[in-house]
């Protein structure tokens, strides 16, 4: 280990410009990018597009994705985009270990295409997918792009055989916008444009890389971060270069920390404009000398330096590297938490979630009232009539209106037919109890019997000690005890099932339902990851569902049935009617 690293207590170079997946900083947009790429890979086929300015981390992100690619996806990685058509096809075949047959009378391009198609059919029959990754796609010729489009046509009667990931600089977007490439542009199933880091991400980015390199203390002053953003514009590659030179300068001067002044001075060599040849030469010579001294283990300044240990920010955690949305399985998944198999971080909570963040073990005080737009209600008051509420056409119609079904439709057809036509499902419970109603948390129809008369109501709200009912005469508030004394223990309610709904168990294939599930989990919390599964409910998705069920206090059986689907609906759709929010 060089004295340069030893001086700062580092085990390896923290700011190398080599695209190492182990140093990928999991910013919000990087997680979104991974989600987009993985979503594209989970589609039937087509083009996936990742663009971004020079130095924003496209290659690092791509290599992170490839490092965690599941076993059923094989990859052809093409680094040289300035190839002729025949050379490109030969490179793809070589990457996929496809042997080209000896045949006369066919062009080399035709031989490559035929061999590739035959191989794709074989691997598809074995349940595998093929991904071609091409870097620097902005350099691809029009002829190459047309060849790739034709390759994307390779298919069976039901499935595309190929995914193609194009990694490019922003000018490629202008190329794709050309009329001659509209067919290719229309086949892009997922795309993401990688931006430079935001100002508030700079400190976390720098500390993340230092942490991955073994740092146990603060090295850069806080004042360095806004300076870094101003100097580099948030471009990760420039940040790495400036920080690397700042550490080298800090070692050369015997400083145990990098100050703002030292950072600005160190950035001159990297970011300054044209200088006189003699000045530029002196700067380069100084850097070469210092680097050589570090490599030889010669100390520029010695001495025992007392340093205060520090705690890395909570946002910095041990992350090497996922996630109709925006997000892979491999043996190293424990070290790659951005991808399939990671332990889902629960430090982020959604402000609209009715259940508190499970990282917070305190039980919040339940609200006094939990039905929207309700007036103060006394828990001891037996009944209360509202003279301002217009009576609905019927309690069934009122329930449908809670699900935003139009009044004209409510009055025109039978209750069951309207519900079905609106994508709703009717559930009828008998011999049930109040706890079950609370767990369902949806408005529903109940019957109360008093003085020998049975009357139908809609249960629209639940409070601490009272319930709110809507009948043909308007709104009533009753105590829970009074309600339970009169209720016949039957409950009819509505809910909206997801597309192609059936109970999802491990090993079952249901592409549309899985796409809904993964997109919904990402909408709830982007700490969940889009997992490439080929339309199957895999172990990795199962583990995410288990975590979700545990977090929201559902049965932790891993089944995506009615209970789990209803909770997902409640968290992703603010228009879903509920009886209460928060805790009772």
- The confidence score (pLDDT) of residue 286 equals 52
Q: Express each pLDDT in 448-459 by its tens digit.
A: 987 778 899 999
Tokens linked to 114: 């035929």
Q: Express each pLDDT in 145-155 by its tens digit.
A: 999 998 888 88
Integer angstrom CA distances of residue 508 from 125, 345, 541: 18, 27, 12
- The confidence score (pLDDT) of residue 302 equals 36
Statement: residue 219 has pLDDT above 70:
yes
Nearest by Cα to 467 from 373, 384, 390? 384
Q: What is the dihedral of CA 334, 57, 523, 203, to 10 degrees?
A: 80
Statement: residue 303 has pLDDT above 80:
no
Integer angstrom CA distances of residue 574 from 102, 157, 560, 570, 578: 63, 40, 21, 7, 10
- The confidence score (pLDDT) of residue 509 equals 87
DSSP state of 285: H
d(CA 357, CA 112): 55
Query: What is the pLDDT confidence band of residue 332, given thresholds at 50, 70 and 90?
Result: very low
Q: What is the mean pLDDT of residues 380-384?
A: 41
Count H helices and E strands in the chain, helices first: 21, 11
Please indicate whether residue 336 or residue 500 has the higher confidence score (pLDDT).
500
- Tell me the HSE value of 141 on the side-chain side, using a 13 A CA sphere: 11
Q: Express each pLDDT in 548-581 by its tens digit.
A: 999 999 999 999 999 999 999 999 998 899 999 8
- The confidence score (pLDDT) of residue 170 equals 94
Domains defined along the chain, listed by start? 3-16+198-296 (1.10.8.60), 28-194 (3.40.50.300), 341-373+498-573 (1.10.101.10), 395-495 (3.90.70.10)
What percentage of the chain carries pLDDT values higher than 90? 41
Q: What is the mean pLDDT of residues 70-87?
A: 88
Statement: residue 320 has pLDDT above 80:
no
d(CA 51, CA 570): 35
- The confidence score (pLDDT) of residue 542 equals 92
What percentage of the chain carries pLDDT values higher than 70? 77
State if pTM tops 0.75: no
User: Which segment of 104-113, 131-140, 454-463, 485-494 scores lowest on mean pLDDT?
Assistant: 104-113
d(CA 48, CA 218): 39
| Mean pLDDT, the chain, integer | 78
d(CA 550, CA 154): 43
- E strand or H helix that includes residue 454: strand 453-462
Query: What is the pLDDT confidence band of residue 277, given thresholds at 50, 70 and 90?
Result: very low
Q: Express each pLDDT in 191-215 by its tens digit.
A: 999 999 999 899 999 999 999 899 8
């Amino acid at each position: 280990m060089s004295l340069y690293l030893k001086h700062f207590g580092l085990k390896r170079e923290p700011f190398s410009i080599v695209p190492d997946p182990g140093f990928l900083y999991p910013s919000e947009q990087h997680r979104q990018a991974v989600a987009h790429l993985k979503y594209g890979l989970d589609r039937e086929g087509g083009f996936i597009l990742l663009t971004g300015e020079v130095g924003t981390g496209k290659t690092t992100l791509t290599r992170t994705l490839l490092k965690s690619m599941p076993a059923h996806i094989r990859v052809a990685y093409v680094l040289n985009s300035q190839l002729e058509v025949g050379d490109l096809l030969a490179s793809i075949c070589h990457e996929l270990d496809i042997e080209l047959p000896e045949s006369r009378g066919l062009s080399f391009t035709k031989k490559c295409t035929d061999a590739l198609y035959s191989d794709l059919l074989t691997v598809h029959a074995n349940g595998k997918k093929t991904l071609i990754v091409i870097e620097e796609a902005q350099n691809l010729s029009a002829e190459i792009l047309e060849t790739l489009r034709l390759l994307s046509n390779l298919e069976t009667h039901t499935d595309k055989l190929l995914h193609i990931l194009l990694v490019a600089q922003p000018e490629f977007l202008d190329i794709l916008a050309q009329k001659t490439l509209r067919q290719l542009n229309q086949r892009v199933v997922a795309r993401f444009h990688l931006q430079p880091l935001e100002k508030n991400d700079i400190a976390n980015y720098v500390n993340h890389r230092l942490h991955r390199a073994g740092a146990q203390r603060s090295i850069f002053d806080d004042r360095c971060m806004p300076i870094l953003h101003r100097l580099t514009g948030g471009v990760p590659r420039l940040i790495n270069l400036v920080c690397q030179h700042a550490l080298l300068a800090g070692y050369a001067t015997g400083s145990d920390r990098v100050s703002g002044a030292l950072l600005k001075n160190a950035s001159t060599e990297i970011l300054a404009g044209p200088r006189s040849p003699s000045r530029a030469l002196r700067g380069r010579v100084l850097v070469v000398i210092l680097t050589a001294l570090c490599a030889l283990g010669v100390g520029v300044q010695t001495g025992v330096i007392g340093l205060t240990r520090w705690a890395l920010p909570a946002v910095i955690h041990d992350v090497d590297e996922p996630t109709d949305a925006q997000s892979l399985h491999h043996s190293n998944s424990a070290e790659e938490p951005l991808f399939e198999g990671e332990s889902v971080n629960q430090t982020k909570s959604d402000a609209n979630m009715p259940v508190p963040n499970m990282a917070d073990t305190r039980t919040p005080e339940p609200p006094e009232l939990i039905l929207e737009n309700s007036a103060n209600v006394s828990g001891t008051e037996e009944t209360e009539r509202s003279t301002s509420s217009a009576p609905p056409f019927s309690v069934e119609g009122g329930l449908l209106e809670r699900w935003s079904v139009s009044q004209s439709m409510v009055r025109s057809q039978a209750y069951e037919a309207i519900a079905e036509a609106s994508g709703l499902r009717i559930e009828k419970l008998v011999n049930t109890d109040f706890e079950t109603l609370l767990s369902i948390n949806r408005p529903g129809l109940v019957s109360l019997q008093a003085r020998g008369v049975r009357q139908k109501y809609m249960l629209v709200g639940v409070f601490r000690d009272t319930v709110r009912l809507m009948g043909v005469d308007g709104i009533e508030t009753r105590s829970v005890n009074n309600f339970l004394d009169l209720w016949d223990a039957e409950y009819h309610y509505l809910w909206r099932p997801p597309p192609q709904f059936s109970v999802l168990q491990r090993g079952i294939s249901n592409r549309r339902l899985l796409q809904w599930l993964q997109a919904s989990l990402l909408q709830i919390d982007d700490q969940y990851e889009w997992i490439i599964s080929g339309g199957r409910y895999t172990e990795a998705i199962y583990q995410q569902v288990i975590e979700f069920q545990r977090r929201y206090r559902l049965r932790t059986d891993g089944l995506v049935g009615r209970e789990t689907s209803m909770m997902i609906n409640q968290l992703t759709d603010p228009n879903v009617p509920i009886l209460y929010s928060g805790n009772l």
